Amino acid sequence: MKEANYDYIIVGAGSAGCVLANRLTEGGRHRVLLLETGGSDKSIFIQMPTALSIPMNTKKYAWQFETEPEPYLDNRRMHCPRGKVLGGSSSINGMVYVRGHARDFDEWQQQGADGWDYRHCLPYFKKAETWAFGGDEYRGDQGPLGVNNGNNMQNPLYRAFVDAGVDAGYFATDDYNGARQEGFGAMHMTVKNGRRWSTANAYLRPAMARDNLTVVTHALVHKVLLEGKQATGVRYEKDGKLVDVKASEEVILSAGSIGSPHLLQLSGIGNREVLEQAGIPVDHELPGVGGNLQDHLEFYFQFRCKEPVSLNGKLDWWNKLKIGVRWLLKKDGLGATNHFESCGFIRSKAGVEWPDLQYHFLPAAMRYDGKEAFSGDGFQLHIGHNKPRSRGSVYVQSDNPRQPPRILFNYLQHEDDREGFRDCVRLTREIISQPAMDRFRGPEIQPGVDVQSDQEIDAFVRQAVESAYHPSCTCKMGVDDQAVVGPDTRVHGVSGLRVVDSSIFPTIPNGNLNAPTIMVAERAADLIRGLAPLDPSTAPVEMDEHWRDRQRPGGARRAIA
């Protein structure tokens, strides 16, 4: 083994790791090593937004993890892809930019993540982004991350969906990442100049020109090196050879909500019983490692479309070729969007303070692998209950770093989660039945009009629901006995070791996870460097003041029993 020395070692060049690599090398003071198991992100299938389904389902670019049989989903094994490429999951995701509701971060603060409330997080969201329509007290205009609305809802189905939400008595929201999340409006995506604007493009590529950053790809990290309760470096494998590297300051795990707890466990840090069953010596007992696993589920609510305006007419090889050629030449058109250009955030019932249901609207009826669901025109809504109470785990199985961990989400274990999906079905039918959709609404394809009772909805959901690919919370931030890192992102009881990625979320936000993961890394970079935090925001948060007794601003629905 050969040795090399750095100030900081970052494990994982994903949504958080690329941010850290950029920020920690600013000014040239620190020598930083960034390790990534995957390789280049220069594939057209990664860079072209409309091709999003390809890298997610390709072994070269993503860990193709699979869960244990999920006991509350008829023992189905669920697909759990995670990025294995520069940019990590930001290079394989759907590019949807949702920060989450302000109360999600206040919830973090209440659970012991001091300083991570909305007032302190909002400045870092702003620091990260350049919003296509200019900055204000909520949106940034000087950050690395380009955010826009794709093709600005040119397809008439997008606007019809938003109008249907308003017809049903919900808010229209000009910016769900601004003062009010609740309501219907345009959806935002991390796309710039027609290209996927991953953290590799936004943060890493500029930093790679600096002499003090070393990036090593195709490097499989085996473990964190410990001397007593001090992390001193990591051991990784490249080209069949083991390499030990030392960090004079800190080791930072940014391997994601599956990779980071797994690597801690491989290093002898975790729940004693889990480590002993895997045959790994316990160097530091930390019971919460790998627990508290949370994710978002969703299903596709599909309808036929009465007018030939959906994208189903663009799924043949000839139209795909034309879209691809136009994108190659001009970086615009249907190739330059993820097609989720309108959305909705609503509360499932009266008594829920902030939105717990999320809609992604797609002007097509197709599967996530990009194949059509049926012949003819259609549209679909991806709908899910976003504040689950079910909890799962990511546990190491052996000391072999190539053996995937045991992943069990326990999806829909909690009755509140099952109730949330019943609300998804019934509220969606009501929204799509509004006059704004009359011109386009054809027969319901899925779930089907015969699915009506609680029992019928539950059975449908168990078979149809899919992961929204938002695993999180497995190295939770806090101060209780299940917390893995403190509010400073340092691992409890081990000096020189941090975790910075979506695994440290105490609870899952109401929205897609790329934006809050980038925010966490931006704020953690200041903590690591000992910089004063950005001044907290005073921007107001708009809520439905009558949330206790009504499900939507246009009228009461059902109160919580």
Q: Which of 296, 382, 385, 470 is catalytic?
A: 470
B/e letters for 466-496, b = 16+ CB within 10 Å, e = fewer, are: bbbbbbbbbbbbbeeeebbbbbebbbbebeb
404: left (phi over 0), alpha (psi -120 to 50) or beta: beta
3-state secondary structure of 133: coil
Q: Which amino acid is at 94?
A: G
Beta strand extents in 353-455 (DSSP E only): 357-362, 378-385, 393-395, 406-408, 441-446
∠ Cα 400 401 407 (to 5°): 100
What is the DSSP secondary-structure string of 532-543?
Answer: PPPPPP------
- List residues forming the annotated binding site for FAD: 7-36, 85, 93-96, 221
* Rounded distance between C-alpha atoms, residue 442 and residue 305, angstroms: 5
* Rounded distance between C-alpha atoms, residue 115 and residue 374, angstroms: 49
- How far is residue 422 from each of residues 381, 453, 462, 495, measured CA to CA in Å? 15, 9, 11, 46
If you count DSSP H runs as helices and E runs as strands, how many of each does the chain have, helices first?
Answer: 14, 24
Q: Name the nearest CA neighbour of 62 among 91, 88, 83.
A: 83
- How far is residue 417 from each of residues 63, 232, 291, 420, 462, measured CA to CA in Å? 27, 42, 19, 5, 12
Active site residue 262: no
* Rounded distance between C-alpha atoms, residue 386 and residue 384, angstroms: 6
Cβ atoms of 506 and 476 within 8 Å: the answer is yes
Cβ atoms of 411 and 390 within 8 Å: the answer is yes
* Rounded distance between C-alpha atoms, residue 425 and residue 33, angstroms: 48
Question: Which residues neighbour 496 within 8 Å (Cβ) at sequence distance 6 or greater?
Answer: 230, 231, 232, 247, 249, 250, 251
* Rounded distance between C-alpha atoms, residue 368 and residue 340, angstroms: 12
3-state secondary structure of 169: coil
Q: Residue 206 has which token pair? A: 């500029």
Cβ atoms of 96 and 70 within 8 Å: the answer is no
Question: Which residues are known to be catalytic?
Answer: 470
